[in-house]
Amino acid sequence: MKLPKVLLFLFLFQIHDAQLDAYLDYQSPFHPTISENGMVVSQNLESSEIGTMILESGGNAVDAAVAVGFSLTTTLPRAGNIGGGGFMLVYIKETEELFSIDYRSRSSLNSNLKDLFGSKSPAQIQDDDYDLTKYDYKASAVPGTVYGLLEAHERFGDLPLEKVLQPAIDQARNGIIVSYDLHNAIGSSYQLKKDPESRKIYFQNNKPIAIGSLMKRPDLAKTFEAISKEGKDGFYDGWVAEKIQSSMKDNGGFIDENDLEQYSSKFRDPIGVNYRGYSVYTQGPPSGGGITFLTALNVLSYFNLGKYRKDSSLTYHLLAEALRRGHNNRSHHVGDPDYYDVPTEELISKGRAKLLAKNISFDKASKASSIQKYNHIEESKDTTHYSVIDRNGNAVSNTYTLGYSFGSGVTIPGTGILMNNQMRNFAYKYGDKTSTSRASSPGNRFEPGKRPMSTMHPVMVFNKKGELSLITGSPGGSQIPAANLRVVTGVIDFDLHVGDATMLPRIHKDWPYADLDFESTVSQDNLNLLDRIGHQLELSDTIGSTQSIQIIDGTNYGFADLRRPNAGVSIEKSN
């Protein structure tokens, strides 16, 4: 029997409408970018696109990561850098090997306490005395980024260095359009305004360079060219090194040609734990953040987190308690392993975690004094992270920093190099018997030539079959472990895809401080319950900015955190 035309039209329309609804009906508003080809996720989309340009030119994940690291110096100058340092995890699929490169900045061999604090003893040092470790020339440690990125390229890269760096050279020379975020970051930087060379680059008519204007970086392009042709010597020797050491000498800084010649990155063993059958790896010392993060996972392993809701007050409470114990674990005996025998295995052992978990109550926030330490230095949020995977499964997780936003504020004249302020990250109160915080840590006490402790810790997770399943990391200073922990537990404990795991509301709790920092997206009901059991609540800015790639059955799912603007995922185009 034939349907009347009107009924047939309505029937077909309903089918079409139902199909349309099904197509548009997504389970989540946070959509990962999906591809079986290579992928780059960074805090600036233009830099991500330079990474995939290298992949499309025949480069591997390491080649792309090096290009992104140099590009971010132009697109994200407050954190992207060649004047700072960081940590990189490299996974080589063919051999199934994981490598860790420590290219943390190190203090000058000429640096000393007298030039920083005069004749004051550790007990006499007050907050106002730290300015020389934060701003201007004495604040800078020897940069490690160029050495670390080029060491990775020499060991694992496929393309010639000149080809890898050419897009970043062109970008610096041709310039970028100044975004709202960059304009306002420049305007809020106290230290940029103090330095004559930085004022010439970042200000026009004494105002931050205007939104929508073209910012060219010719001096930086020349520095990149020198590095592309001469390798490490293009930075640590030759005319660039001469400009660094002469500027330091003229302005009372510590770094000289000997410091530059003696700097090298270090291959170190990654550290990891088994968390519910997943192998979770990160950076070991001098990263204290890695120890904080793995300790928190170990503590949480004694609780069935998955049986609670992903956004319940009990979940937030357990995250806070685990993080607090993780920060306690890094506060005394973590520092540069070349200078201090860090008891890493003991700190991240299950036995230590069991001891720390033992006194967690479900209905009461812990006191700092109740957490047994193993027998505050201000940390900046302006770090950046990026994740890379190529079509063959090789991967990079990289986190690096200048320290504060725009580092020390010092730009070396004629080079475009913005310098770090990592000298602020040592424990200068060591020896003050009245201090129990990280500021008096024996592991992180100041010594010339030493690398300061850091909370940066790039992360890679392998599933129960031993396959790479997650690449992630974040900026955020002392809040980095909280950001990484929320993403990893979101994926493992709550079976979320990387977009949903990234956008879960975040909290942070340190040690020995009482505050529980929370993002504005945490519900008021949860805050009321957390307050009721004794957490001292403090509204925070956004916590971290994770740039992540999840791998499921050979397909890559990339997600750039929405917490900071201009981040983006770029995928390699098919040939």
CA distance to 116, 166, 422, per residue, from 128 (Å): 12, 44, 17
Six token digits for residue 44: 């600036």
Distance CA 126, CA 133 (A): 13
What's the CA gap between 299 and 287, in Å, rounded? Answer: 19
Q: Among 117, 340, 150, 118, which residue's Cα sits nearest to residue 230?
A: 150
CB 517 within 8 A of CB 479: yes
Q: What are phi and psi of 314, to 5 degrees?
A: -70, -40
DSSP character at residue 49: H
Query: What is d(CA 287, CA 411) in angstroms, rounded to the nearest whole number?
Result: 26
> In the chain, what's the furthest Cα-to-Cα distance?
102
**CA torsion, points 479, 500, 545, 272, in degrees to nearest 10?**
60
Q: Are strands 383-389 and 39-42 parallel, antiparallel or unpaired?
A: antiparallel
Q: Which of 393, 396, 365 is nearest to 514 (CA)?
A: 365
- Residues with a known catalytic role: 383
| Torsion, Cα of 307, 313, 317, 319 (10° steps) | 60
Q: Cα-flanking dihedrals φ and ψ of residue 126, to 5°?
A: -115, 170
Whole-angstrom Cα distance, residue 272 to residue 257? 37
**How many angstroms separate the CA atoms of 1 and 4, rounded?**
9
The label of the residue with tokens 């860790």 reads 100
Rounded Cα distance, 244 and 57, in Å:
34
User: Would you state the structure tokens that stand for residue 20, as one six-digit string?
Assistant: 């349309």
Task: Count CB-CB contacts under 10 A for residue 220.
Answer: 25
